[in-house]
C-alpha cells in the first residue's frame, strides 16, 4: 500500500550495484529504467484521494499520501549521489528524467519539479567529475535535453 516501498527497493538495488565491491553500473541503469517506467505511469495520474468514504459519506479508508516531488527525489537522488562521477550513469539519469518530463506535460507543476531535479543533478555532477572530457560530454548531454537553456542564453 505504500508507493515508496518498491521505489526504495529498486533504489537500494541500484545503490548496492554501484558500491565499490560490486561495481555494476549496468544493474543500476536497469533499476533506473524500471523506476522510470513506474514513475511515468504515476506522473500521468492525478493525486489519489487521501480518504475513501462509503455511500453514506462515512470515512472508511485513509491513505498515506506522498507528494510527487518526494517520490521523484526518493527514486533518483541517492542513485545519482552514489554514481555522480560515472558519466554513463549520470547520462542515463538525465535522459530518463528528460523522458519523464516530456510525458508529464499535462501536469505543469510536475514537469517543473522534474526540470528542477535535472538542473540540480547536472550541477552536482559537473562539479564532481574530475576528468574535463567527462564534464564536456555531460554538458553536451545536458544541452541536448534542455534546448531552452541554449535559447535563453542566446537571447540574454
pLDDT tens digits along 36-88: 999 988 888 877 777 788 889 888 887 778 889 999 999 999 999 999 999 99
pLDDT score, position 53 = 83
Closest by CA to 17, choosing from 91, 83, 94, is: 83
CA–CA dist 30, 63 (Å, integer): 30
Give me the mean pLDDT over the 95-110 stretch: 84
Residue 106 binned pLDDT confidence (cut-offs 50, 70, 90): low
Q: Which three cell numbers stand for residue 87?
A: 558519466
Give me the mean pLDDT over the 80-105 stretch: 91
pLDDT score, position 147 = 60
pLDDT score, position 48 = 72
- Tally DSSP H helices, then E strands, for the chain: 7, 2
Cα-based distances in Å from 51 to 45, 56, 67, 147: 17, 14, 15, 41
Average pLDDT of every residue of the chain: 87
Q: Which residue has the cell 511515468?
A: 40
Q: Which residue has the higher pLDDT, 118 or 57?
A: 118
pLDDT score, position 150 = 40
pLDDT score, position 149 = 46
pLDDT score, position 17 = 96
Q: Which residue has the cell 547536472?
A: 122
Phi-psi region of 23 (alpha: psi -120 to 50; beta: other; left: phi over 0): left
CA–CA dist 44, 60 (Å, integer): 26
Amino acid at each position: 500500500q505504500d508507493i515508496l516501498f518498491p521505489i526504495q527497493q529498486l533504489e537500494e538495488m541500484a545503490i548496492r550495484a554501484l558500491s565499490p565491491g560490486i561495481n555494476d553500473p549496468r544493474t543500476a541503469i536497469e533499476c533506473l529504467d524500471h523506476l522510470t517506467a513506474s514513475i511515468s505511469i504515476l506522473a500521468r495520474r492525478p493525486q489519489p484521494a487521501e480518504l475513501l468514504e462509503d455511500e453514506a459519506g462515512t470515512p472508511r479508508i485513509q491513505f498515506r499520501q506522498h507528494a510527487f516531488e518526494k517520490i521523484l527525489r526518493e527514486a533518483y537522488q541517492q542513485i545519482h549521489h552514489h554514481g555522480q562521477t560515472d558519466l554513463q550513469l549520470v547520462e542515463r539519469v538525465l535522459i530518463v528524467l528528460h523522458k519523464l518530463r516530456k510525458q508529464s506535460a499535462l501536469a505543469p507543476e510536475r514537469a517543473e519539479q522534474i526540470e528542477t531535479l535535472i538542473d540540480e543533478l547536472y550541477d552536482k555532477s559537473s562539479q564532481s567529475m574530475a576528468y574535463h572530457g567527462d564534464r564536456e560530454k555531460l554538458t553536451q548531454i545536458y544541452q541536448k535535453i534542455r534546448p531552452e537553456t541554449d535559447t535563453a542564453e542566446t537571447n540574454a
